[in-house]
Amino acid sequence: MDGGPETRYARSGDIHIAYQTLGTGPIDVVFVSGWASHVEGMWEGRWLARPLRRIAEFSRLIVYDKRGTGMSDPVPVRELPTLETRVDDVRAVLEAVGSERAALVGANEGGAVALMFAALHPDKTAAVALINASAYARQDPSTPWGVPDHILERRTAEMRDRWGVDAGSGPPDRLAPSIADDPEFVRFFRHYQRLCASPGVAAALAGTVFTDDVRPALPLVQAPTLVLHRAGNRALDTRHGEYIAERIAGARYLELPGDDHLWFSGDTDEVVDEIQEFLTGVRRPVPAERVLAAVLFTDIADSTHLAATLGDRRWRQILDEHHALIRRQLVRFRGVEVKTTGDGFLATFDGPARAIRCAVAIRDAVRSLGIEIRAGLHAGEIARHDQDVSGIAVHIGARVTDLAKAGEVVVSSTVRELVAGSDIGFSDRGEHDLRGVPGTWRLYAVDSA
């Protein structure tokens, strides 16, 4: 179980509304789920927990259970809350957490609540983001793409008869086709449904939300609005999203690939990335690519003395010719130049043997300039980001170079083991402590390549 934050309660009239907060970001985000939720059960499976925690990375995330569902007070089936009451419950939660203004993210049926709140409380609404939502789900003359009554009746019957058992609010192959064949998800989804509401309440709520009509409120929404919809959504036509965006001034409509209706299935990173950029102006940094590579460092031996002896002009000429020679060898041995380090280079290779042969070729080539280089190599996992690399393997490579003498190519024991069986010969240089690296490391000088 992915332990979630502590549950607290807000008072909305005589009803207690369960809520949680997570994160300390600069913007408050109220997440309005579909018609039923459970603020503690949502952390039990990775499908909901992971995207919610991602939202909390850039915000103070506020999640809550609507009255009659989850951990909020139950209500009689025949006295289910109106849309206006559910909107007022959001206001009560915001007051309880001390939020004067928040962005609302409405997922699926929660979109209607988010839109109505924005229309009624423009001063409290910083922005609205919708995921697979509609302003009115039913089919009628102005929304001919809506769901026909006979299908809505069938779906309501499914909830009453199969909620938390099999089909629930719809079979997984319709609501979450991308993971419908995952038995772990199916078990989680059925269990989560049972936590959220009883079958009778679920069916009654379905009848309520299917009649929610916020179309008249759309022109009243003043907050910046983002409408996200899955292009192949099997439960809700994309024209529902287009309809909303067309009737809110300045709203942006974006179709995302996929055919899932549940907001927490499919590529949720893509959904959260769009919401993050919309609310903060920046996207999550692309994770560094981690690869196995041989890392080569070179530098000119005794460079300070040489520079002083030769003078600035001649030293600059030597450096230019040195750089040109090294780059020719990197091309020859398919090395990737990462950067220059003043009088040296950092490069990576996808094979340690070629890295060694390149280092030896560089050493021999620069002798024509009257200089000696020293080189160090290590192999391991590195992180590539932008035009640079990082990781402990890079750090070790630099420390190995520090221990090389003029004209030497020194490698770690890792590199030597990886090229075992090749025609490359080594001399043992013993064990060494590498500054900043745990343990001792046996190093070897390349004798022949």
Position 1 scores a pLDDT of 43
Structure tokens at 128: 């609205």
Per the domain annotation, does 167 fall within a domain?
A: yes
Per the domain annotation, does 1 fall within a domain?
A: no
Helix H, strand E, coil C: the string for 174-190 is: HHCHHHCCCHHHHHHHH
For the chain, the domain total comes to 2
Per the domain annotation, does 3 fall within a domain?
A: no
Per the domain annotation, does 364 fall within a domain?
A: yes
Start-to-end Cα distance in the chain = 55
| Closest alpha carbon to 384 in 411, 357, 420, 346 | 346
Per the domain annotation, does 2 fall within a domain?
A: no
One domain for residues 361 and 275? no
Integer Cα distance of 30 and 315 in angstroms: 63
Q: One digit per residue, pLDDT tens: the chain, 449 residues?
A: 456 899 999 999 999 999 999 999 999 999 999 889 999 999 998 999 999 999 999 999 999 999 999 999 998 887 888 999 999 999 999 999 999 999 999 999 999 999 999 999 999 999 999 999 999 999 999 899 998 988 888 888 888 888 887 644 455 567 888 888 888 888 899 999 999 998 888 888 887 778 899 999 999 999 999 999 999 998 899 999 999 999 999 999 999 998 899 999 988 999 999 999 999 999 887 666 789 999 999 999 999 899 999 999 999 999 999 999 999 999 999 999 999 887 999 999 999 999 999 999 999 999 999 999 999 999 999 998 777 898 999 999 999 999 999 999 999 999 999 999 899 999 999 999 998 788 899 999 999 87
Q: Is 43 exposed, middle or buried (0-12, 13-18, 19+ CB in 10 A)?
A: buried
One domain for residues 178 and 311? no
Per the domain annotation, does 242 fall within a domain?
A: yes
Whole-number CA gyration radius for the chain:
31
Domain end position, chosen among 230, 247, 280: 280
Backbone angles phi, psi at 164, to 5 degrees: 70, 5
One domain for residues 325 and 272? no
Position 168 scores a pLDDT of 44
Domain end position, chosen among 242, 257, 280: 280
One domain for residues 251 and 115? yes
Per the domain annotation, does 353 fall within a domain?
A: yes
One domain for residues 276 and 293? no
One domain for residues 112 and 129? yes
| Closest alpha carbon to 406 in 349, 348, 445 | 445
One domain for residues 317 and 246? no
The CATH number covering residue 202 comes to: 3.40.50.1820
One domain for residues 314 and 189? no
Place of tokens 């280092």: 359
Position 234 scores a pLDDT of 86
| Closest alpha carbon to 357 in 296, 443, 441 | 296
Position 388 scores a pLDDT of 86
| Cβ atoms within 10 Å, residue 11 | 12
| Bridge partners, 64 (sequence order) | 19
Its domain, for residue 348, covers 289-448
Position 437 scores a pLDDT of 83
Position 166 scores a pLDDT of 62
Query: Is 285 within 8 Å of 346 (Cβ atoms)?
Result: no
One domain for residues 15 and 157? yes
Per the domain annotation, does 113 fall within a domain?
A: yes
Integer Cα distance of 17 and 12 in angstroms: 7
Domain end position, chosen among 260, 280, 300: 280
Helix runs in 333-390, H state only: 352-366
One domain for residues 297 and 274? no
Backbone angles phi, psi at 18, to 5 degrees: -75, 135
The CATH number covering residue 309 comes to: 3.30.70.1230
One domain for residues 244 and 332? no
The three-point CA angle 228-232-237 to 5° equals 70
One domain for residues 114 and 215? yes
